[in-house]
Structure 1
C-alpha cells in the first residue's frame, strides 16, 4: 500500500504529479478567507491518517503530531525549521527534512538588494518620483550613502552569509566582519573576512546583516543595548527571522536617530500589521518575506522538498535532515 502524504502548501503541478507517483496525496489548503487557526485545525485533522507531510509557513505543534500516530516524516519547503518542535519530532522518531542549499543565492540577492535600497533610498525616492514631486535637481536632503568600500558585518556566516560576503567583498570592495560559532576559513581566505565578537561587529559595521536561525539563544539577540552600540549612521538588515530583533526597540531606535535605517524582509509577526510604525518610516524598506521568492528558486525548493519526503518515507534519506539525531532513535 502506498503511503499517505498531506500537502499543506500549494505545489507546482509537476512536483505534485511526482508525489502522486509515489504516494496517495491529500491536499490540505486554506479556504479563501480562512483564518490561520482554522487552517491549523483542518491540517491537524488531515495529519491523523498521514505517513508524511510537506508544506511551509504553518506552525506544526506537538499537539498536532500527537494525533498522527502513523507520521514518519515531514518535509518543510524552507531552510528555517522554527515552525517545529525538533526535540518532540526526534523523540517520536519523525524525520524533519528541509531545503538548505537551493535558496542560498536567491536569498543573498535579496539581502544585498536591501543593502542597496536602504543605502541609496531607492524605494523612498521611487515613490517620491511617482508622486510627481520631482521638479528639479535633487539636493542633499535626498542623498543616500555609498555601499562600496564600507564595512559590512554579517551575523552568521553560513551558506547565505557566505554568499553575501562574496557579493560584498568581490562585487563592492567591502570590508567583511562576521560572527559565527565556528571560523569560516574559506571566507577568511577568499573574501578577507575577519571573525570578531558581536560587540565589535556592531560597533564597527556600516551595515549589519542578520543571517542566523531563530532559536531560544538568538531570539531578541538584537535589542535596545545592541542597537545603541551601533554607529548612528549604520543600517540594520534582517532577512532571517523577525524575532531575532526586538521590534519595539528597533522602532524606537529608528525614531530617535539611534540608527540611520533598516531593511527588513521579516518581522516578529507576519504579515506585518497595517498600523505598524515601521510602515510610516521613510528610513525603512519593508518587504513581504520574499527572501527566496523567485520562480526558479521556489520551484527548486518544492522539488527538493518533495524528493526529500519520498526518500525519507522509503528510509533512504541521508541529506537535508534538520534533526539527524532521529536516525539514532
Structure 2
C-alpha cells in the first residue's frame, strides 16, 4: 500500500479518505529531523509544517508534497522540482475564515474590546464601560487591502457590507472588483484607516511594511496581518507601537512562532494576538483536509493534481514514474 505521511493531524473526514487510499501515518512531531526520517518511505506528504529540503532527495518513492492550504512557504519548491516531486495546494478554501477573522480583530480594536473586558473583570463595571467612550465604528472608514487573491477578495466583499471604502494594492489592478480602487503601497498606507495584509510572502513582500511605510500611516490607523510574519519589519512595528505612531495592530503571524513569553507584543493593550489561527475553523479544516486528500488520491491514481504548483517538475516526475 502507498504510504501517506501527514506532518500533523487532519480533519477526521480527510483522515478517513486517506486511510482508504493507503497507509496514513501522522508524524510523531513536526521537527525537520523527524519529518526527514519519517518521510523517507512516503509516497505523498500532506504539509502543515515546514518540510526540510533534503527530504526530496532522501525519499525515493515520494511523488507529491501537497499543502494543506494555500501558502507554499512551508514547501521548498525548488528542491521538490529538482527531485521531480509534484507540489500542489488547496487555494481559497479558508479565505472566508481568514476574512471573517479580519473583521473580528478589527472590531475588537476599534471597540476596545480587550481593555474593556480586562477592566470589567478586574476593576468593575464602570472601569470597563469607560472604554466605550473611545470606541469607534467601522462604517465610513477606509480599508486598504494589500494582496487581492482569494483572501483579499473575501475581505473586500465583507468590507463593502460594513460600508467601508476600499483601496487595494495588487499586481493586477485591471482585475480588481468593482468598488475597489487601485492604490500604490504608499498611497494605501497614507489614506487607509485599516491596513490589511493578505499578500503571500515572497522576496518582494518581505519587509513590505517597515519604518517608512509605518511613518506614512495615520496615527489613528490600525494594521492587521493575516499574511506572513516577515511581511512586517517586526522591530519597526514594535517601535511604532511604543511611540504611539499608529493606534494598534492585530497580528496572526510572526517572524518566529510560538512567541516567546517575554515578547514585546505582549506589553501592548492595543495589540490583538492570535496563534496563526485566522484560517482555522472546523469548516475550513474540513475543506482544507478533504481538498488535500483529493489531490493525494489523484496523484496515487496516476493523475496530476488539479492545483499543480510546479508544472516544470512534470517531465522529471514522468521519468521517475514512467508507467504513468
Q: Is the TM-score greater than 0.5? A: yes
Residues in 2 aligned to 1:137 and 1:15: alpha-carbon distance in whole angstroms: 44
Closer/same/farther in 2, CA of residues 132 and 17 from structure 1, 3 Å limit: same
Query: What TM-score, normalized by structure 1, do the two folds share?
Result: 0.91
Residues in 2 aligned to 1:292 and 1:324: alpha-carbon distance in whole angstroms: 27
**Contact 1:203–1:230 at 8 Å: present in 2 too?**
yes
What residue number does 2:183 align with? Answer: 196
Pair 1:43-2:30 in alignment: no
What residue number does 2:313 align with? Answer: 326
Structure 2 residue ranges without an equivalent (≥5): 317-324
Aligned counterparts, 1:238-249, within 5 A: 238-249=225-236
Quote how far apart the aligned CAs of 1:312 are.
2.1
Which deviations, in whole Å up to 9, do the C-alpha atoms of 1:172-191 show, x marking residues without a partner? 1111000001025451x2xx
Quote how far apart the aligned CAs of 1:140 are.
6.7
Quote how far apart the aligned CAs of 1:325 are.
3.1
Aligned counterparts, 1:166-245, within 5 A: 166-169=157-160, 171-183=161-173, 185=175, 187=177, 189=178, 192-245=179-232
Residues in 2 aligned to 1:53 and 1:223: alpha-carbon distance in whole angstroms: 36
Give secondary structure in 2 for the equivalent of 1:135.
helix
What residue number does 2:119 align with? Answer: 128
The size of the alignment, in residue pairs, is 316
**Contact 1:157–1:184 at 8 Å: present in 2 too?**
no
Query: What TM-score, normalized by structure 2, do the two folds share?
Result: 0.92
Residues in 1 aligned to 2:98 and 2:46: alpha-carbon distance in whole angstroms: 21
Pair 1:10-2:9 in alignment: yes
**Contact 1:233–1:260 at 8 Å: present in 2 too?**
yes
Residues in 2 aligned to 1:138 and 1:18: alpha-carbon distance in whole angstroms: 50
Closer/same/farther in 2, CA of residues 131 and 147 from structure 1, 3 Å limit: same
More displaced 10-residue stretch of structure 1: 295-304 or 310-319:
310-319
What residue number does 2:47 align with? Answer: 55
**Contact 2:295–2:305 at 8 Å: present in 1 too?**
no
Closer/same/farther in 2, CA of residues 196 and 135 from structure 1, 3 Å limit: closer
CA RMSD of aligned residues (A): 1.8
Which deviations, in whole Å up to 9, do the C-alpha atoms of 1:53-88 show, x marking residues without a partner? 1130x2212222221122110112121110122122
What residue number does 2:153 align with? Answer: 162
**Contact 1:99–1:305 at 8 Å: present in 2 too?**
yes
Aligned counterparts, 1:50-129, within 5 A: 50-56=42-48, 58-129=49-120
Closer/same/farther in 2, CA of residues 141 and 112 from structure 1, 3 Å limit: closer
Quote how far apart the aligned CAs of 1:231 are.
0.8
Pair 1:285-2:281 in alignment: no
**Contact 1:10–1:29 at 8 Å: present in 2 too?**
no
**Contact 1:44–1:64 at 8 Å: present in 2 too?**
yes
What residue number does 2:320 align with? Answer: none
Residues in 2 aligned to 1:307 and 1:317: alpha-carbon distance in whole angstroms: 11
Closer/same/farther in 2, CA of residues 218 and 25 from structure 1, 3 Å limit: same
Closer/same/farther in 2, CA of residues 136 and 82 from structure 1, 3 Å limit: closer
